[in-house]
Structure 1
Amino acid sequence: MKIVIIGLSITSSWGNGHATTYRSLVKALTSLGHSVLFLEFNTPFYAANRDLPHPSFCELGVYDSFKSLQSDFSSNVQNADLVIVGSYVHDGIQVGEWVQRLAQGVVAFYDIDTPVTLARLKSGNCDYLSPALIPKYDLYLSFSGGPILDELEDKWKSPNAKPLYCSVDIDMYYPLSLEKKWLMGYMGTYSPDRQPPLDKLLIKPAETLPASKFVVAGPKFPSEVDFPANVETIEHLPPHRHCEFYNSQRFTLNLTRSDMIAAGYSPSVRLFEAAACGTPVISDTWNGLDSFFTPNQEILLVEDTEDILVYLQDLLPEEAVKIGKNARKKILKHHTSQIRASELVLYTKEIINR
């Protein structure tokens, strides 16, 4: 198939999880024999922080305005078998209307932020998707599964709402025999709703265990966030260093945005990446998590500081290693980028055949 994706960014992973998601999916689509053109708006912040300016696995188009998108790429959109518009795309409503008018193939919306999008739609504050656009997309691809898919079809009138969860490029995420520099680490962009659980589940344990080393990697943390001396901070880690990062921890912490917790069935790309490396994951809890990983066998779930201290201090090393290995097996069976690309192709072919 000829596929066009208009997404937030594939060239810069700074401050967003979209880039790694698109990279793994597009690379897998290309390996399956499809041709992909990825189009992204020339956002100044991402333009200044591009860690993959020239992806080798797809054609790239960077546009400066909606007008230039139309003038430069209309024929590509018109002739594609599948056109995907992603969440948080600049002028996304205009872009969606244009794609729906022009494209002759299947038109899909890929929502990497489904609970946030629906909350914005309800408040009338969504600038990349409107209620009127949803029924006109042939396919609504959602980062969240479970009941939210029924809501998309029943309330918002999507003709086809399907899960397309994040995935892992297993060429980039795998176990390594490295020194465990940190007892536990966390990777994620700062957000106000995730800071209280980070305080509770990493900063307080670090204060309780001053002889142990911890790490937090992610941009946009304000200066008023007070990390203990035994917590190393890294502003940004490019994706090619993620594997080493996860493999250098005895445990990794997964924290979920409040909107995603409320919706449930919303695994993060960092959760899958860490599991693919065989690093034991300690996570907050949300509905549907047990449909991705079996608690106590493939993942460790906590609610407060005392819970996490029990695992950090008392869990036998061989038990932790076993949990990490079990989680990696689950990733390889259900959540690789190859599997996700095949799911997307299947969804598209069902619509074409129908």
Structure 2
Amino acid sequence: MKIAFYGSSLLSSYWNGAATYYRGILKALAGHGYDITFYEPDAFDRQQHRDIDPPAWCRSVVYPATDEGLRSVLAEAGGADIVVKANGVGVFDRELLEGVVAGARPGALKIFWDVDAAATLDEMRGDASHPVLAALPALDYVLTYGGGPPVIDAYQGFGAASCVPVYNALDPDTHHPVPRDERFACDLAFLGNRLPDREARVEEFFLKPAAALADQSFLIGGNGWETKDMPANVRHRGHVYTAEHNAFNCTPRAVLNVARDSMAHIGFSPATRVFEAAGAAACLITDAWEGIEQFLQPDHEVLVARDGQDVAEHLRALTPERAEAIGRAALARVLAEHTYALRGEQVHALFQAHVARAREAA
């Protein structure tokens, strides 16, 4: 079966936190025999900051971010058995969704894949003309990479035929333990782009503990932080390429995860960084959000912090031996229950069930 997937970028994680999610899910689906084409625009300097070359398991099409480029890739939607529009492409999001729905052949499986469901739902609540609202009657599935029951209920309340979370996970071929790299040596590291709905939480959970622990060292990676005032014991690394993520996670005594406002509020939304860090056997400290126990056991496989004071207290008490034990336990848990191979089986089963229902109806 052919899949036409329209997303932000498969090749670059630059201002594109969903890159490793797309790679993990689609690589797993390719293992089930799907013929996949990923369409991404040449936008936001992502092609100048590629992390990977086009992979063998997926055809990659990079199109100009122009009206002509848009038309050229939408023309291919009609040749696919499954058409997918992911949110957050950044250019032509409305036109891509409308074009995918209109251009899909009769009987094709039509999917909106939401990698920021909490934010999308907030937009839909405030905009009766939102393109996702208009598209829902024609879509077979809304898939999300988080959100749990609150997101399922909200999407079905808006009229989605079916909403299924397909959570972030680990690709152990990509994220795994590696030797230390002194470029990333510190007591606590955080990796994430500077975004409006994350910045205040980074101030609370990362910069506040740094100010309180002047004798400890902190490292922040990601785009946009170069103009941010920070305590003297914080180093800014800038963009960290995917190939460096393992060393970034393995080297510090602990690694911090900070959810964006919307994801923390709705819960059940572990970021890609959670599984990347666990896959590298890092000691992870995460801000508190509902549903964490579904993925990692607090105090055994992860340390949970309600605020910056909790982060500081964790760091004061965290010995290298305990950090190593937490990291080992987290790695064992995600390898057993949270790999992209398992997520791929979940999505494959959804696709096969749809095909079976369509055959029955015919």
Q: Normalization by structure 2: what TM-score?
A: 0.90
Once residues 114 and 126 of structure 1 are traced to their aligned partners in structure 2, the CA distance between those partners, rounded to angstroms, is 17
Does 2:195 align with 1:191? yes
Distance 1:236 1:194 in 2: 17
Shift of 1:143: 1.6
Give me the whole-angstrom Cα distance separating, in 1, the residues matched to 2:308 and 2:88: 34
1:146-195 per-residue CA deviation (whole Å, 9 max, x = no partner) reads: 22102211x21111110111222211111234267211100000123322
The residue aligned with 1:102 is 103
* CA offset digits 1:196-221 (Å, max 9, x no partner): 33223222322333332210001012
Superposition map of 1:127-138 within 5 A: 129-138=131-140
Contact kept, 8 Å, 1:120 with 1:126, in 2: the verdict is no
Distance apart, 1:34 and its partner CA: 2.0
- Give, in whole Å, the separation in 2 of the partners of 1:12 and 1:337: 19
> 1:19 maps to what in 2?
19
How big is the shift at 1:47? 3.4
CA distance in 2, matches of 1:125, 1:339: 36
Query: 1:158, 1:353 → 2: CA distance?
Result: 20
SS of 2:178's partner is coil
SS at 1:17 equivalent: coil
Among 268, 271, 276, which residue is 2:271 paired with? 268
Aligned position for 2:178: 176
Give the secondary structure class of the aligned counterpart of 1:233.
strand
- 2:125 alignment counterpart: 122
Residue in structure 2 matched with residue 237 of structure 1 by the alignment? 240
CA 1:333–1:205 in structure 2 vs 1: closer, same or farther (change >3 Å)?
same
Deviates further, 304-313 or 331-340: 304-313
1:186-265 to 2 correspondences below 5 Å: 186-221=190-225, 223=227, 225-265=228-268
Q: Is the 8 A contact 1:146 1:288 kept in 2?
A: no
How far apart are 1:53 and its partner, in Å? 5.0
Helix, strand or coil: the match of 2:187? Answer: strand
- After superposition, the C-alpha distances for 1:39-98 in whole angstroms (9 at most, x for unaligned) are 012214323433335334311112223543434553x42232211110023323322222
Q: Secondary structure at the match of 1:33?
A: coil
Contact 1:146/1:264 (8 A) holds in 2: no
Secondary structure of the structure 1 residue equivalent to 2:161: coil
| 1:163 equivalent in structure 2 | 165
Q: Equivalents in 2 of 1:92, 1:4: separation in Å?
A: 15
Residue 269 of structure 1: how far off its partner (Å): 0.5
**Number of residue pairs matched?**
350
Query: Which residue of the partner structure matches residue 92 of structure 1?
Result: 93
* Structure 2 gap ranges (5+): 358-362
Are 2:219 and 2:235, in contact at CA under 8 Å, matched by a contact in 1?
yes
Distance 1:202 1:260 in 2: 18
Compared CA separation, residues 57 and 177, structure 1 to 2 (3 A): same
Find the residue that maps to 2:45 and give its secondary structure: helix
Moved more, 336-345 or 53-62: 53-62
Match of 1:9 in 2: 9
Q: Secondary structure at the match of 1:132?
A: helix
Residue pair 1:13, 1:238 contacting (<8 A) in 2 also:
yes
Instruction: Tell me, in whole angstroms, the C-alpha distance in 2 between the residues paired with 1:126 and 1:279.
Output: 44
Alpha-carbon distance change, 126 to 115 in structure 1, aligned in 2, over 3 angstroms: farther
Q: What's the offset of the Cα at 1:125?
A: 8.5
Q: What SS is found at the alignment partner of 1:62?
A: strand
- Residue 125 and residue 16 in structure 1: after superposition, are their counterparts in 2 closer, same or farther (change >3 A)? farther
- State the 4+ residue runs in structure 1 displaced beyond 4 angstroms: none
61-70 or 322-331, which deviates more: 61-70
| CA distance in 2: counterparts of 1:125 and 1:230, whole angstroms | 47
Of 117, 133, 145, which aligns to 1:143?
A: 145
Corresponding residue of 2:360 = none
Q: Secondary structure at the match of 1:283?
A: strand
3-state SS of 1:147 partner = helix
Q: What do you get for the CA RMSD once the two structures are aligned?
A: 2.1
One-letter amino acid matched to 1:118:
L
1:254 touches 1:284 (CA, 8 Å); kept in 2? Answer: yes
Identity level (%): 30
Amino acid at match of 1:139: Y
Q: What letter matches 2:86 in structure 1?
A: G
Structure 2 counterpart of 1:9, which letter?
S
| CA distance 1:11–1:319, change in 2 (3 Å) | same
